[in-house]
Every structure is written in C-alpha cells, then in structure tokens.
Amino acid sequence: MIEYRNLRVALLGAGSVGAQVADQLLTHRDELAARIGAGIELAGVAVRDLDAPRDTAIPRELLTTDAESLILSSDIVVELMGGLEPARTLILQALTSGADVITANKALLATHGPELFEAAGQVGAQLYYEAAVGGAIPIIRPLRDSLAGDRVERILGIVNGTTNFILDRMDTQGESMEQALATASALGYAEADPTADVGGYDAAQKAAILASLAFHTLVPADAVHREGITEVTLEQVVAARKAGYVVKLLAICERLTDPASGVDGVSVRVHPALIPDTHPLAAVHGANNAVFVEAEAAGSLMFYGAGAGGIQTASAVLGDVVSAARRHVVGGPGVAESTHADLPVLPISAITTRYQITLLVADEPGVLAVIAALFQSHGVSVETVQQSVTPADPARPSGAASAATLVIGTHEASEADLAATVAALTTSSVVHSVTSVLRVEGL
C-alpha cells in the first residue's frame, strides 16, 4: 500500500461543538488514520479570544486568531464558528484554495448555499454538512445518497433540539419557557442568539436544507413559512396534554398541488402543532430530534437521536472529516448538489390540515349555533366541540353573561378558509376572544 502524506485539518471555532471535535480528533488520531488510509493532523484552531477559558485538550500553541493563514495551509477546513460572516468568506477562501470544507452552519447554508456549492464545484472540492441538520442523526447522507434513486413525498419532523427541550420541560415539569431556555443554553444546545431557536429560524433553515435535498429544488430559508414557539403558553401545553395531545415545533416539507392555481410545487413550513400523545413524535424528549421521511418506493423511514449538543454533533462532523479525508486519498471531484427539479415553493395558503381553536365565548343560549354557522359559512367542517365553564371573574359586572371556553377541533380544512374563519370569530359579538389556534398533525 502506498503511504499517503498526513492530511492537515484546520478547525474554525472551539465552542460547544468545535472543542469536542478537536478533542476527538486528538484522542482517536490513530484509529481515524487507519480508517482513512492517511494520517490526520490538527493543524490549528481559530478562535476569537486566545485567553478565553476552555475545557478542552487543545494544546495552547494550536490556537490562533489568524483563520486565513490557517486555512491556506490546510487540506480540510472545519467551520464551527457559526454566523454568516466571517464564516462565508473563510469557507469561500478554503474552497477556492482547493480544500474540502465541513460545516454545521445551517444559517449560512440556507442563506448562501448556492454560492458556496458553486465555489466548491468550480474547483472540484466538496462541501460536507451532515451536522447542519439533526445534530448527531445521519439525515443528510440518507437524503442525498441513499434515497437519490427514490422520490421523496414528505418529510415531517422535529429538527430543533432547543425548542423540543423547552416544550418538553414545560410539558413534563411545568417549567416556564424562560427557565427551560436558560437550561438549554447552559447545556450548549441553543444558538449564540437563541432567538434563532425560539423564533423558529433555525428549524426553518434546516427545513430549507432538507426540502432542497429531498425535492431536488433550491428552497431558500426565507421561502419557508415560519412560526416559532414564543407565543406558546404553559396553559396551552397543559390543556393539550389533558386533551391527549403534545405541543411540538414541527418542520413539514411536502409535495403539493396548490388548490387555487393548480400548480404542482413544494410546501415547506415550520410551526408549533398538536400531535396525538400516542404518535412516535410525542415520545421525542429533551434535545432529541426525529425526522420521518415518506418516499414512494421506500415507504416510511424514521431517523431519531440527539439533535443538539457538543459531543453528539461532533460525531456527525467527524464522519464528514473521515469522508473528506478518504476523498483526498482516493481522489476524484466532489459531488454537486442536485436542483434539477426546480419546483415552485407554494404559499402557506396551499396547505390543508386539521386545526384546534380555543375560544372564550358568552355562556348564553344560541351561542353555539352562531359559532357553528360561522364555521359552516367559511367551508370549515367541525369535528369536535368541548365546552367548559370558565371560573367566575370577580371583576365581571353583575348581570353580565358568564363566559365559557370552547375547544373546537376541525376536519381537514384549507389554511385560507381557516384564516377567514378565525378572522370572523375575532369580530363576532358572541366571542370574547380567540385564545389559541393550533394546527393538528400526525393523525
């Protein structure tokens, strides 16, 4: 066997994920070399602050603030800094210099992916990003390679660890969103700016990446319908549990025909939803993720595991390091991304699903009939109605009608019809307030 030279790996970032990648590379250096067929050397680690306290085995002399020089002397560049800049510029420099690049940066990929893939294609380098979606879960390779001969119809999943952790803590321990988010940040799950997590931006970026791969179509992050969990209340989570549901932040990517225009396209959305407590996604606890893929020939596949966390995510990054290093040894150009289908991304109004609407109404004769007529007039079919009397409000003027809470479950309805129904409910004289509108998935 021909001896291959040592491959030099540049690491950009030594935070939650980067520090773990460095430690694993240093600890398992010989075993990784045996798998690759070449030695692998951590050439350096770029950070912002050389003196920041670090719980890692990285030798001090490997740390540098000069990322550019480090890149230019490396075969493989691993970007784990996060953010758009300077990550984008550094990755472009690395690719242009012929290095393979590994990144976990979904924000960057979902925003500047085409530019980066184009740069990689120009020089025959490869951009790997298994860790960008689902943390430790292998989902990028299955979609890009294993299912490349099939036709993916739908993806449904939990793709953000932080929000799943928060909703799970609210559900199982009655914690507030703020309490749970503080714990998720301390555990290294949350993004540097956790608005990316709770606002649904991170999940939308991941949904864009998954949809692009699955449907061979470029789906930019800003084409994804996005609702975060900031409006989800502890009351909603508790009420959902009582009614046999769990609240989860879901990412749903599907092929669809827009009923309004007849156009075939794809729909990609991220929003909180109720799922039955018997559904497998209801058993996804903590920072775990789970992704269901439905493909024409393969049928239903489920991918499950740690969706965030330094060491767990390092596993996916190191898998990419080994792949990139093997490609160096074996040779051959990188594989281009496939966007040949070029399907339109449809608006949220194109979807149909079930909904649960919670209303505070006047507890008077005839109210139910008025509300039922309102649903009917907008073409939304009611499946279930539950009424409970709301405890007396001491501030209520004597003689004023008492209030009741109505929880209405619908059959499948279009998003547009549902929106019109909710708008009419909001202005109806018998409705005090619309307290919650949630989509119901997984039935």
Catalytic residues: 206
- Least distance (Å) between residue 106 CB and ligand HSE: 6
Per-residue x/- mask for ligand NDP, residues 47 to 86, rule CB under 6 A? xxx--x--------------x------------xxx---x
Binding of residue 315 to ligand NDP (CB under 6 A): no
- Least distance (Å) between residue 343 CB and ligand HSE: 26
Contact (CB, 8 A) for 237 and 261: no
Quick one: tokens of 229? Answer: 């969990």
Tell me the C-alpha distance between 312 and 440, whole Å. 31
Q: Which one, 320 or 417, has the nearer CB to ligand HSE?
A: 320
Q: Which one, 197 or 337, has the nearer CB to ligand HSE?
A: 197
Of ligand HSE, ligand NDP, none, which one does residue 197 interact with (CB within 5 to 8 Å by kind)? Answer: ligand HSE
- Least distance (Å) between residue 14 CB and ligand NDP: 4
Tell me phi and psi for residue 342, to 5 degrees.
Answer: 50, 50
Binding of residue 11 to ligand NDP (CB under 6 A): no
Tell which positions 113-132 bind ligand NDP, by CB under 6 A. Answer: 131
Interface with ligand HSE (CB under 6 A), residue from 168, 191, 227, 254: 191
Interface with ligand HSE (CB under 6 A), residue from 113, 161, 310, 442: 161
Contact (CB, 8 A) for 127 and 120: yes
User: How many residues touch ligand NDP (CB under 6 A)?
Assistant: 27
Tell me the C-alpha distance between 317 and 320, whole Å. 5
Residue nearest to ligand HSE (CB): 162
Q: Which stretch binds ligand HSE (CB under 6 A): 29-37, 184-192, 249-257, 415-423?
A: 184-192
- 400: burial class by Cβ within 10 Å (0-12, 13-18, 19+)? exposed
Interface with ligand HSE (CB under 6 A), residue from 107, 284, 308, 321: 308
Residues with Cβ within 8 Å of 167's Cβ and at least 6 positions away in sequence, in order, are 229, 232, 237, 246, 247, 248, 249, 272
What is the DSSP code (8-state) at residue 308? S
Tell me the C-alpha distance between 355 and 407, whole Å. 10
Q: Which one, 52 or 283, has the nearer CB to ligand NDP?
A: 52
User: How many residues touch ligand HSE (CB under 6 A)?
Assistant: 11
Per-residue x/- mask for ligand HSE, residues 141 to 160, rule CB under 6 A? -------------------x
Contact (CB, 8 A) for 77 and 13: no
Neighbours of 29 (CB within 10 A): 14
Contact (CB, 8 A) for 411 and 439: no
Binding of residue 105 to ligand NDP (CB under 6 A): yes
Q: Which stretch binds ligand NDP (CB under 6 A): 23-31, 41-49, 260-268, 386-394?
A: 41-49
Tell me the C-alpha distance between 149 and 66, whole Å. 43
Please count the residues of the chain: 443
Quick one: tokens of 327? Answer: 């490609």
Tell me the C-alpha distance between 295 and 343, whole Å. 17
For 175, 278, 285, 335, the CA distances from 169, given in Å and listed in that order, are 6, 18, 9, 41
Tell which positions 164-223 bind ligand NDP, by CB under 6 A. Answer: 188-189, 191-192
Tell me the C-alpha distance between 312 and 168, whole Å. 20
Contact (CB, 8 A) for 226 and 110: no
Of ligand NDP, ligand HSE, none, which one does residue 160 interact with (CB within 5 to 8 Å by kind)? Answer: ligand HSE
Binding residues (CB under 6 A) for ligand NDP: these are 13-18, 46-49, 52, 67, 80-82, 86, 104-105, 131, 135, 188-189, 191-192, 308-309, 313
Binding residues (CB under 6 A) for ligand HSE: these are 135, 160-162, 189-191, 197, 202, 307-308
